[in-house]
Structure 1
Amino acid sequence: MKKITDFLRDDIDTLNEYSVLDSKGFVKLDAMENPYEREISIKANIPLSIDSQTLEYDDIFEANVNINRYPDANCEDLRKSLTKKYGLKKKYDSIIGNGSDELIQLICMAFLRSDNTILCPQPSFSMYKKIAQVLKFRFEEVPLKENFSLDINKMLEKIREIDPAIIFLAYPNNPTGNLWLKNDIDLIIKATNGIVVIDEAYGAFSGESFLGEINNYDNLLVMKTVSKVGLAGLRLGYLFGENSIIKQINKLRLPFNINSISQKISKLYTEDCKFINIQIKEIIKNRELLIDMLKDIKNIQAYDSKTNFILFKILQGSADEVFSKLLADNILVKNMSKTPGLNGCLRVTVGTKKENDIFIQSLKKSII
């Protein structure tokens, strides 16, 4: 049986992480920075409710940041906060990325060998394939079943056939919005010699996570992001895994990849996310209401969702036509109809109650 290290790129042992000494308490003259302090104050008035007529604000994000200095190269404070928040043991570490996209790229770069292959269900998050193509990584896909569940028998068969270095699994899946069976994913993790990356970008809206399983598998990585829960402008994601794997992947990360402001706000979020949790609950409530409204519209098939978006299929007429009519009404959704396995489908993000009502009224006109 192969070891995970057998899949790592050939030159990984010749590479070193970019090392930055801790400068706290030092006269800092090593990085060609402007020595004159420039401190900016961050204060965000964030509504606790997204739909309330009278908004209650909570100034949770209030901090000062020095912008004349380079940011913490290793995001030490943020990583410590994340470790504490998720209760991870010392044998696990994390990497902070400029969004999940950078983390996906780093993972692929770390395992880039001519004989390696990435495996992924289809359809799933488009960046897995795009980044693989840019890096000229071999990429194999296994179509989902008609109900968008994993075809576990074909997945296991493909694993035996190609012995993939990396398997990406979005949990819940984007763009279908559903959660796959945990038992199926467990079978995949056990069956492969390579790593399995569970992408939990939408995990906050599902109430499910594989972080609790990370102690059971040496080849499991779990990826999360702050983008979908209300902090997309920060461009920040994080990857958890066993120390030795994280260390090797981290060798490919460019220094100072996360700016000081994103680090500071993200750390505050990990320590007190009350306002985020309140908004997530409202989005979930609005999601269920929106699904019900979609299911009441004739000639539409709406799929159940565990995310902050809903996939729906146009059963009569053209998805392109409906998309264009919505666009003419200044409503922008995602046209998924060219995606393999999603013919005739559109995807809508769950908005405020007012936004959802406007969308439904326009959609009804577009379908007729």
Structure 2
Amino acid sequence: MIPVRDDLRALEGYHSAQVDVRVRLNTNESPTPPPDAFREAVAAEVSKVEWHRYPDRAAMALRVAIAESHGVDAAQVFVANGSNEVLQTVLLAYAGPGRVVATFEPTYQMHAQIARITGATVVEGERAEDFTLDPAEVERVLTEHQPHVVFLTSPNNPTGLVEPADRVQQLLDFAPGLVVVDEAYAQFADWTALDLVDEDTPLVVTRTFSKTWSMAGARLGYLVGPTWLVAELEKVVLPYHLDTVKQIAGRLALRYVEDMDDRVAQIVAERGRISSELEALGLTVIPSGANFVLFRPDGHDGRAVWQGLVDRSVLIRDCSGWPRLANCLRVTVGTRDENSEFLSALSDVLSASTADFRSHPQTEQNGADR
């Protein structure tokens, strides 16, 4: 057996529990599909695809459509297979051996994972107990480590917190290198860093079609940044990396903005309902500007709560074993019926847990001591 690179031996791949359940609320997908008109439009165009020809290498029609939706030039847009490939391409161009990438934890795991895969050194800033980001910590990390690339996710995953505009501006003021604002969940929030993108600022904003556009199955993402940066990305991206069908689907999706806005409004309303009901159950709820809610079942074991939900055919994300997220769980906002089933199952699990504690208080205490 040939050994893997020394610097990769300690890494693990990205994992998310795959369990056969009735209600699946663990992967932050859209709970509803795109409109039928979108499906029909895609089918019509795909029927005319010249399958024996390579796709448009520059994906120009898609880039133009994205650019028009944001009021920027197509030369400022880079597209790839999901926002993860966008991030990977940025890090291949601007990170790598001998370079430093900064994150502020907890945050999206793939930022550090991809950075390490490129051979970069990763430094981790620390968030406060409430998961907010202290300006002094930002200044410390940037001044002490002088990162070549710094990531900020807003709304943050897995916490859901929206970073204030002045925090992004602080990064731009202090960072010696590239600032990447990951906005995978931006449409659920109340502001975007896209307005800060220009030719003179080393800032890129990444987006995805997976969430609000209901296209997780397509794996399509993009960034908006300075034209000079987009041109550099072309040096490291593989030729013809974005297939023709994906380019068609992304371009056509942008015609259905009203449908997307309606889905966002429904998810935001359900997010508020979930948060309110979790608080009514006495749980700690982290304010969310995304399509999910992070919470802590205080007085109960998070892993046991997760398993109790699975036993009731409801799957959410168990974050309790992640660094800095002890006893935390994350639920994706689903349809109203799915959310109601989750809340009902959670109430049952918590009630059963409380009843079990009252029946066996000494056993529970001993277990906690261990």
CA RMSD of aligned residues (A): 2.0
Structure 1 unmatched ranges of 5 or more: 1-48
Give me the whole-angstrom Cα distance separating, in 1, the residues matched to 2:31 and 2:94.
42
1:240 and 2:224 are equivalent in the alignment: yes
Compute the displacement of 1:292 (Å): 0.8
Alpha-carbon distance in structure 2 between the residues aligned to 1:310 and 1:57: 26
Using the alignment, how far apart are the partners of 1:250 and 1:174 within structure 2? 28
Q: 2:204 aligns with which of 221, 242, 245?
A: 221
Which has the larger strand fraction?
Answer: 1
User: Which AA in structure 2 matches 1:325?
Assistant: G
User: Per-residue CA shift, 1:101-148, capped at 9, x if unaligned?
Assistant: 111111111123433100010000000111122222100011111111
SS at match of 2:211: helix
Query: Equivalent residue for 2:265?
Result: 281
What aligned pairs does 1:1-368 form with structure 2 within 5 A after superposition?
Answer: 58-61=36-39, 62=41, 63-65=44-46, 66=49, 67-89=51-73, 93-215=76-198, 217-229=200-212, 230-298=214-282, 300-368=283-351
Q: Which residue of 2 aligns with 1:30?
A: none
Verify the 8 A CA contact 2:96 2:118 in the aligned structure 1.
no
- Runs of 4+ in structure 1 deviating by more than 4 angstroms, as ranges, are 55-58
Q: In structure 1, what is the Cα distance between the partners aligned to 2:179 and 2:169?
A: 10
Equivalent-residue separation in structure 2 for 1:84 and 1:360 (angstroms) = 40
Inter-CA distance 215–134: structure 2 relative to 1 (3 Å threshold) = closer
Q: Deviations over 1:126-172 (max 9, x none)?
A: 00111122222100011111111112111111111111000111111
Specify whether residues 265 and 99 from structure 1 end up closer, same or farther in structure 2 by C-alpha distance, changes over 3 A only: same
TM-score, length basis structure 1 = 0.82
Partners of 1:340 and 1:194 in 2: how far apart?
27
Do the aligned partners of residues 162 and 281 (structure 1) sit closer, same or farther apart at CA in structure 2, a change above 3 Å counting? Answer: same
Distance in 1, Cα, partners of 2:192 & 2:236: 27
More helix by share: 2
Question: So what's the TM-score if we normalise by structure 2?
Answer: 0.81
Counterpart Cα distance in 2 of 1:235 and 1:193: 32
C-alpha spacing 1:84/1:337, structure 2 compared with 1 (3 Å): same
SS at structure 2 position matched to 1:351:
coil
Give the secondary structure class of the aligned counterpart of 1:96. Answer: strand
Give the C-alpha shift of residue 317 in structure 1: 2.1
Instruction: Report which structure shows greater RCO (CA 8 Å, sep ≥6).
Output: 2
Distance of 1:135 and 1:216 partners within structure 2: 26
Shift of 1:56: 12
Q: CA deviation at 1:60?
A: 3.4
Q: 1:57 to 1:201 in 2, by over 3 A?
A: closer
